[in-house]
Structure 1
Amino acid sequence: MVPFRQFVLKVHSRCDLACDHCYVYEHADQSWRRRPKVMARETIAWSALRIAEHVKTHALDQVTVVLHGGEPLLAGHDRLQAVAEAIAAALTGTCRLDLRVHTNGLLLDDDFLDLFEEKGVKVGVSLDGDRAAHDRHRRYADGRGSHDRVLGKLALLRGRPHLYAGLLCTVDVANDPIAVYEALVEQAPPRVDFLLKHATWDEPPESGAGDWLIAVFDRWVADGRPMAVRMFDSIESTSRGGPSMTEALGLEPSDLVVVETDGAYEQVDSLKAAYDGAPETGLDVFGHTLDEVARHPGIAARQRGIDGLAEACVRCPVVDSCGGGLYPHRYKEGGFANPSVYCADLLKLITHVRGRLRRTHELTSGQLGELAAGHGSAEAVAALAAGQVSLRRLALTKAAGPGPAWRLLTAIDDEHPAALAAVLDHPYVRAWAVRRLAGTAGPAHLGNVAAAAAVRAGVTAEVEVEVLAGVAYLPGLGALTGMSGAMVRIDRGGAWAEGATWEPLRRLTAMGIDVALEDLDPYRDCHQWTPASRLDGERAAAWQERFAAAVQVIARDHPAYLPAIRAGLTTLTPLDQAAGTTSSAAGHAFGAIATTLPPDSETLALLLMHEFQHVKLGGVLDLFDLFDERDARLFYAPWRDDPRPLEGLLQGAYAHLAVTDFWRRRDPLAFARWRADTAMAIETLLGAGSLTSLGAAFVAGMRAAVLPWLDEPVPVEAERGAQAERAAHRARFG
């Protein structure tokens, strides 16, 4: 049984719009007519109790609760406050709560935003694009459009960006895709969810959704991915063997349940598009636990992964990304054992996105110039990441010896290449391979890599693995603890060993960024500082809170850095707090940053920006020769008390492009200090005579980024203070 982690509470069953594409009111299921308009306080209390009961039973570390409708704001300020307080009180001290509201936005005002501010509620708003697109369907009962009013409410929400969860846009092929995209971008959303109009084989949709979404995808990529797009991010993630971020795609089991205004449990409410009564379970919060709901046949059917798909889907080359599509869209003549009614559109879109991913293996001169300037586009960083997969594959091949583990990996690569690619995405696989080639690590860890690939591929196997201190770690997935032997069985998408306990690798998420919180991998010690041991639940929750806040700081104050981080940061490794506030990147672990948990989100934002500069430059140096490695001279580095080799000076100067930019918005003295010192280091590099022609062009790009900063005015006392600090540092250096 898969526990629920997402709970949709229908706090109000009516709406102030009459959208003609709404699955609640306009499709087959009409159960809203017999439900109370608003969720009663007793129902709220029982819902909170059942969620808390489920969390404790399954030791969940985080759940998401979405206040939904109808239109949830019709429930009113007091009722929404009661819901938020009941849920928060029930979960206090047990798990982290992600509380959200999905609204058409028409009633949003400062009173509601004050409430959401107080209760930590994030707000998602439905917007179908420009006026023509939005008002095509989202109209009042008298036919008036709602677009202008929604834009006014979004202006209020943008004034509190920490509450802004994103936009939901229903795809209509009658609308201009680029006009829709541009209208959404104008609202500066942190995320956009494109939703296919609900349809079934009995009532099929218009054709063309695939081409419509491809047009949006290509423009989104060309613009440097200005916001997260859940559908596109999920296709890219699953194509690399990673998780999906939406129930509409991927093979992960469903973990969502709905509570209606009368307390009835329902399956995903988009099932209302299939037939009358389709989402019903016959269970309710007053008499049934959520474990009982999880055992309902309808819920179980959506948790079978590939085993629950039609034969045509199982044979499909993109099934790992598509996952058969959204469950209601498979309905035909009384059953769901069919491909999605959007099958052709999903195949076309996923194939297009995957083709774009394959083309990113080549880094263009333009992308190299983007990276030289300090930021780098998402496409440029994706190209660096693609190059790393090749390097990790090569290192793994060299480090591997003959034997069962290598034969299993070879078979998986032939039959399930995406599964192996996903394991190779984990940065510390290469760290182990490099140590193995240097003779400082044993060969047995290859079995752990093979076991992780087998789990992702869903194959059955028995693998001998490396066990360290009773722990067998599977890269990118988690660890079996309490191991008494070295044999691990892979079956039905999981890893098992006699007497062992599975500990999954936790993840951190924020604004479309999804990274591993790596506190298990034994080869994460490739950073210069001691890694932290396994975090307890409270500490892991603190990391999630601080990480999300740090990403918000970057998005708010340094948005140009965010697309690259979103595209390339895969792993955050906690360091032992005894090191103080510090951070590190490792040359053989592209995509990973190691850091202590700093005291505030702004410091973490600085550390992430700083270290990801090292990650990007490390990826460039893996692909290109920027300097003559025979030059053994040491050079003065303004940020160090010891002289640095040429590569060290280049790394420091590149990292300080971000450091300078960070302080440029905060501290005139620090900005004055680092802009001059970074410029000086760049001139040292250009004058060293050891850069290749490509290296000289790259460093010249760095210089072009710094020069405008030198002309920016700063207070006289800040400039004097910077000069004094610079002189003192140079004196210490001698």
Structure 2
Amino acid sequence: MFPTVPDPFLDELARTEGGPDALALLVRDQDTRRLLLLRAVLDAAESADPSVCDPGSGSRLRDDWAMLTEADRTPTPTGDRGVRGVRGVQGVQGVRDEGTPSAEDAAGPRPTPARVRLFHPLVGPWARSCLRGLDGGAGTPAGRRALRRDLAHFSAVAAVAAAVAGLPFSTRLTARAGVLTLPSLGALHTAACGDVPVDVTHRKGTLTIRQPDAPDIRVHLEHGTGAWSGAPAWTPAHALPGLTPGAPPMPLDDLDPYREPPYRIHRGSLSGVATLDDAERKRWLQSWSGTAAALRSGGAHRLTEATALLRCLVPLEMPPDVGTGRGSCSATRGEAFGALLSSTPPDPVTFAATLVHELQHAKLAALGDLLTLHRAGPEARYFAPWRPDPRPYDGLLQGTYSHLALAAFHQRRALAAGPAEREWAWAQHARYHAQVGAALPALVGSPDLTVPGRRFVDELAATYEKLADHPAPRDHTARARAYVKSARALWTQRHAPALPRPKE
């Protein structure tokens, strides 16, 4: 059902690169998986006990899907033809036949409004939350209330798709805790608190929003992301300009209720999600405006992968322990393919490096959905110079992959940069190169690699060795190696006695 990965594509990706065709393969596969995930939500709701998903919620879910299907059949206002397959999601066989767009679809025309909404990264966390509730997570009153909120959000997703497609409609939505979020358009703060019914009508690019005991609010759709209104209760969604000329605007999403990262996984390494004011949005714009050039300075393929993979930015608060200078925090989420979570970037080069780092995680996770690279267990027993704690094999592979990309990125910048940036770039390159060198022996020597995993890791090691053709100055290299040596000694002192013995 899912495509195979040709060896040339695997080699490109192992080098932390990937041409347009290899990246399009990953994107198409992730989009197909999103359709299957949504199909799973529909099936789970259909078969759920009425005490978990009442008949009214199930019926509304089917109505919302019908609205999305109609939006998918409607030509976009610009005349772009959409990607086939929303109707194919009616069954798994349909996904197999129609759900995988062609390379021309992925690289050329924009998808229909329905597809834009379904493939938006933050629909993934919404769908996972629904499945958890439908699969036993709604066994308590609080769980059932959360599930009702989750299912109600899909009505807002469908309404936005229909409005952007130009379809007239009238529907009743539900504000969550006094906020009605219309993804990619904005959010309304209702006059009443709690979960409030809100009637929404769309005609000719204008939404009329009616709520109890408050005047009607008119919201006017704009091209791209966002919608404006003169009502103080309305907060428009924001977007940055396209990364390259002709590219669509990049959503800067500080409104979606599903943007919160899973802190139980990150364990405090991330700050909370941010709601931006005008000053913070200007800082984002200042850094973003130079990010394309900074990416290109580290290799044209870095801009190619950002253009192909990045779909939205989610602002995070700056962690209190980051301090000043070029510090920031960032993350990607496996269930939110295409989303980058980041604190406000201090400058374009730092943000470009953040993109390089995080997009490698996105690439490798997407590749792992297509191929089994290893069969190592979850035991955390490997030394990674960038972490104080032992890492499982998969975590070591992920970190090594992203750090290798950063080593290559900063090396290219150092070779081309002027004096003001050259020393900093060499220092960054030397640090990442030394860290990768310390992690590679455990990766290469693992007996748990599959055949494609062996090919991948061997190519990754060859890429590391090739970087030595242009070494950093000796002082940077010496400091980086001393840092790794000290990190290993401290790690061994703390963790080695308690680690599980390796497999015989």
Q: Which residue of 1 aligns with 2:23?
A: 381
Q: Indicate whether 1:497 and 2:244 are aligned.
A: no
Q: CA–CA distance in 2 between the matches of 1:603 and 1:541? A: 16
8 Å CA contact 2:179, 2:190 repeated in 1: yes
| Cα separation, 1, equivalents of 2:307 and 2:292 | 10
* 8 A Cα contact 1:464 1:486, kept in partner: yes
For residues 79-134 of structure 1, give each alpha carbon's deviation from its aligned partner in whole angstroms, at most 9, with x where no partner exists: xxxxxxxxxxxxxxxxxxxxxxxxxxxxxxxxxxxxxxxxxxxxxxxxxxxxxxxx
**Aligned partners of 1:632, 1:697: CA distance in 2, in Å?**
23
Among 27, 40, 60, which residue is 1:404 paired with? 60
- Tell whether 2:127 aligns with 1:419: no
- Tell me what 1:151 maps to: none
- 1:466: Cα distance to partner? 4.7
Partner of 2:259, secondary structure, is: helix
Tell me which residue corresponds to 2:153.
445
Q: Shift in Å at residue 661 of structure 1? A: 1.8
Q: Distance in 2 between matches of 1:481 and 1:363?
A: 47
Residue type at the aligned position of 2:368? L
1:458 shift after superposition: 2.4
Query: Post-superposition shift, 1:572?
Result: 1.0
Identity of aligned residues (%): 32
> For 1:637, what is the secondary structure of its paired residue?
coil
- Once residues 274 and 484 of structure 2 are traced to their aligned partners in structure 1, the CA distance between those partners, rounded to angstroms, is 38
CA shift, 1:607, in A, is 1.0
Q: Offset of 1:608 from its aligned partner?
A: 1.4
CA distance in 1, matches of 2:171, 2:392: 44
Unaligned runs of 5+ in 1: 1-359
2:446 is aligned with 1:688: yes
Q: Offset of 1:711 from its aligned partner?
A: 4.1
Question: Which residue of the partner structure matches residue 706 of structure 1?
Answer: 464
Instruction: Give the superposed CA RMSD.
Output: 2.5
Deviation at 1:697, TM superposition (A): 1.6
* Per-residue deviation, 1:588: 0.8
Over 3 Å counting, the alpha-carbon distance change for 1:494 and 1:567 in structure 2 is farther
Given that 1:430 and 1:589 are in contact with CA atoms closer than 8 Å, whether structure 2 keeps it comes out as: yes
**Paired residues of 1:455 and 1:491 also in contact (CA < 8 A):** yes
Corresponding residue to 1:563 among 297, 304, 308 = 304
Give the CA deviation at 1:523. Answer: 0.8
Is 2:437 aligned against 1:679?
yes
Instruction: Describe the superposition over 1:337-365 as per-residue Cα deviations: whole angstroms up to 9, x where unpaired.
Output: xxxxxxxxxxxxxxxxxxxxxxx977543
User: Aligned partners of 2:172, 2:364: CA distance in 1, in Å?
Assistant: 37
SS in 2 for 1:722: helix
8 Å CA contact retained: 1:483, 1:497? no
The answer on 1:639 being equivalent to 2:395 is no
| Residue equivalent to 2:124 | 430
Residues 584, 595 of structure 1: 8 Å contact kept = yes
Task: Give the distance between the partners of 1:476 and 1:651, measured in 2 at CA.
Answer: 31
Q: Could you tell me which amino acid in structure 2 is paired with residue 392 of structure 1?
A: R
* Cα distance in 1 for residues equivalent to 2:484 and 2:343: 28
Larger Rg: 1
Q: CA deviation at 1:708?
A: 0.8
Q: Measured at CA, do residues 361 and 486 of structure 1 come closer, stay the same or move farther in structure 2, by a change above 3 Å?
A: farther
- The CA deviation string for residues 603-636 of structure 1, in whole angstroms up to 9 with x for no partner, is 1121111111112112212222222264535311
- Please name the residue that 2:253 is paired with: 518
Corresponding residue SS for 1:635: coil
The 3-state SS of whatever aligns with 2:260 is helix
Closer, same or farther: CA 489–641 of 1 in aligned 2, 3 Å? same
Q: CA offset at residue 691 of structure 1?
A: 2.0
Partner letter of residue 305 of structure 2?
A: A
Q: 1:362 to 1:470 in 2, by over 3 A?
A: farther
SS at match of 1:511: coil
Determine the C-alpha separation between the residues in 2 that align with 1:522 and 1:584: 17
Please, which of 365, 371, 387 is the counterpart of residue 618 of structure 1? 365
Contact 1:448 1:474 (C-alpha < 8 Å) held by counterparts: yes
| Aligned residues of 2:4 and 2:370 also touching (Cα < 8 A) | no
From 391, 400, 404, the equivalent of 1:653 is 400
Ranges in structure 2 where 5+ consecutive residues have no aligned partner: 46-57, 75-85, 87-111, 138-145, 211-215, 218-232, 323-327, 415-421, 493-504
The worse-fitting range, judged by mean Cα deviation, of 680-689 and 455-464 is 455-464
Aligned to 1:456: 164
* Matching residue's letter, 1:730: R
Corresponding residue number in structure 1 for 2:325: none
1:403: how far off? 1.7
Structure 2 partner of 1:8: none
Residue 537 to residue 718, structure 1, CA distance change in 2 (3 Å): closer
Structure 2 CA distance, aligned partners of 1:488 and 1:368?
Answer: 50
- Distance 1:487-1:461 versus aligned 2 partners, 3 A rule: farther
| Superimposed CA distance per residue, residues 394-446 of structure 1 (whole angstroms, 9 cap, x where no aligned partner) | 22222243222332313532534523211122101011111222236523222
The 2-side partners of 1:405 and 1:551 are apart by 40
Would the aligned equivalents of 1:373 and 1:702 in 2 still touch at CA under 8 Å? Answer: yes
TM-score using structure 1 length: 0.48
Matches of 2:207 and 2:483 in 1, distance apart? 56
**What residue identity is the alignment partner of 2:176?**
L
Superposed, 1:1-400 pairs within 5 Å as 363-400=5-42
Q: Deviations over 1:3-33 (max 9, x none)?
A: xxxxxxxxxxxxxxxxxxxxxxxxxxxxxxx
Q: Which amino acid aligns with 2:39?
A: T
Residues 713, 568 of structure 1: alpha-carbon distance in 2 compared, 3 angstrom cutoff: closer
Deviation at 1:534, TM superposition (A): 2.7
Q: Is the 8 A contact 1:412 1:454 kept in 2?
A: yes
Query: SS at the partner of 1:572?
Result: strand
1:722 Cα shift? 1.6
Structure 2 counterpart of 1:383, which letter? Answer: L
Structure of greater relative contact order (alpha carbons < 8 Å, 6+ residues apart): 2
* Closer/same/farther in 2, CA of residues 488 and 551 from structure 1, 3 Å limit: farther
In the TM superposition, residue 556 of structure 1 has moved relative to its aligned partner by 2.9
Contact 2:181 2:187 in 1 (8 A): yes
Residue in structure 2 matched with residue 486 of structure 1 by the alignment:
197
Contact 1:451/1:490, CA 8 A, preserved across alignment: no
Q: Kindly tell me: are residues 429 and 469 of structure 1, through their superposed partners in 2, closer, same or farther at Cα, counting changes over 3 Å?
A: same
8 Å contact from structure 1 (residues 363, 384) kept in 2: no
1:468 correspondence with 2:176: yes
Match of 1:536 among 277, 281, 284: 277
Runs of 4+ residues over 6 Å off in structure 1: none
Structure 1: distance between partners of 2:120 and 2:301: 25
Counterpart-to-counterpart distance in 1, 2:438 and 2:257:
40
Encode CA deviations 1:318-375: one digit per residue, 9 max, x unaligned. xxxxxxxxxxxxxxxxxxxxxxxxxxxxxxxxxxxxxxxxxx9775432232211112
Native 8 Å contact 1:480 1:497 kept in 2: no
Q: How far apart, in 2, do the equivalents of 1:625 and 1:655 lie? A: 19
Moved more, 379-388 or 667-676: 667-676
Structure 2 Cα separation of the partners of residues 649 and 721 of structure 1? 23
Provide the rounded CA distance (Å) in 2 between the counterparts of 1:653 and 1:483: 51
Task: Give the corresponding residue for 1:605.
Answer: 352
Identify if the C-alpha distance between structure 1 residues 405 and 503 changes in structure 2 by more than 3 Å, giving closer, same or farther: farther
| Aligned-partner SS, 1:644 | coil
Deviations 1:144-186 (A, max 9, x none): xxxxxxxxxxxxxxxxxxxxxxxxxxxxxxxxxxxxxxxxxxx
2:316 is matched with which residue? 575
Partner Cα separation in structure 1 for residue 21 and residue 339 of structure 2: 18
Q: Is residue 508 from structure 1 mapped to residue 255 from structure 2 by the alignment? A: no
Determine helix, strand or coil for the equivalent of 1:473. Answer: strand
8 Å Cα contact 2:64-2:154 kept in structure 1: no
Corresponding residue for 1:307? none
SS at 1:476's partner residue? coil
Letter in 2 for 1:366: P
Once the two structures are overlaid, the 10-residue window that deviates more, 696-705 or 630-639, is: 630-639
**TM, length-normalised to structure 2:** 0.69
* Aligned 8 A contact 1:370 1:376 in 2: yes
Q: Is the 8 A contact 1:464 1:488 kept in 2?
A: yes
Residue 486 of structure 2 aligns with an amino acid whose one-letter code is A
CA gap of 1:603–1:404, structure 2 versus 1, over 3 A, is: same
